Amino acid sequence: MEWLELKNVDWSEIGIGTVDTLSMLGFSTLFTILIGLPLGVILFLTSRGQLLANRGFYLVASFIVNVLRSVPFIILMILLIPVTKAIVGTSLGVLGSIPPLVIGAAPFFARLVETSLREVDRGVTEAAQSMGASNWQIVWNVLLPEARSGLIAGITITTVALVSYTAMSGVIGGGGLGDLAIRYGYQRFQTDVMIVTVVILLVLVQILQSLGDRLVLKYSRK
């Protein structure tokens, strides 16, 4: 039980790794929501029987989302290296990991958004229509507020998924705790470093999940 002594652990590096992971997580979650939410709304609105039903558009958008979701993240990340370089100028470090994280997570989140909007009672949308609401007003004042707790649950799930994606991005030099785990824990057989990073990630996921659950409960009016 040599690793229990944690003698290989460089706490300052762990500190930097944690900060890197948190900033990757923060930025990628932010952009995932900014891109995924409108995408999910559009998917929902163009699906059959909805306000902007458009079969052709929906099928194409849906296909792209499915493609992005079916490529394993670790492969997507490698495939996207040229794209990442074009967007942020580098494919390394915190900055270089954000585009693949967002491109990997946004379609996933968009599907969750679409599903939670589908849960909104159609009658409520109709009532708003009968009051003369425009489509934009229906999205903004009816669909999003009514789906609020579902959307928060979706954000929680996505953020937790992003935690594991950030760890994976260590493989291609993405920085953060995953990077530490691979460089020290895997490549140098320093199990103690691996354990510490895993524990930190675990605590992070626990905090995120319970925070999300609490918000869902707070906003649930059913």
Partner 1 sequence: MIQLRELHKSYLVQGNKIPALLGIDLSIKKGEIYGIIGHSGAGKSTLIRCMNLLERPTTGEVIIDGVDLTKLDDRRLQEQRRHVGMIFQHFNLLSSATVGDNIAFPLKLAKRPKAEIKQKVDELLKLVGLEDHRDKYPAQLSGGQKQRVGIARALANDPKVLLCDEATSALDPQTTNSILALLLDINRKLGLTIVLITHEMQVIRSICDRVGVIDGGVIVEEGDVLEVFLKPKHPTTQEFVEQVADSHELREAVAHEKASGNRTIARVTFLGEQTYKPILFQTMRETGTVFSILQGTISRMKDTPYGQLVVELEGNAEQNKQAIEKLRERGLEVEVI
The stretch near partner 1 (CB under 8 A) out of 32-40, 56-64, 144-152, 204-212 is: 144-152
Binding characters for partner 1, 151-190, by CB under 8 A (x = yes): ----------------------------------------
Residue identified by tokens 């895997």 is 186
**Does the footprint of partner 1 cover residue 145 (CB under 8 A)?**
yes
**Residue 41 CB, nearest approach to partner 1 (Å):** 17
Interface with partner 1 in residues 113-132 (CB under 8 A): 121, 123-124, 126-132
202 membership: H or E segment, kind and range: helix 191-219
137 membership: H or E segment, kind and range: helix 135-137
Residue 74 Cα distances to 77, 81, 136, 168, angstroms: 5, 11, 37, 7
Q: Tell me the number of residues near partner 1 by CB under 8 A.
A: 21
**Residue 208 CB, nearest approach to partner 1 (Å):** 23
Rounded to whole angstroms, the Cα distance separating 18 from 177 reads: 6
Q: What are phi and psi of 80, to 5 degrees?
A: -85, 0
Closest CA to 8 of 179, 164, 180, 201: 180
Binding site for partner 1 (CB under 8 A): 121, 123-124, 126-134, 137, 141-142, 145-146, 148, 219, 221-222
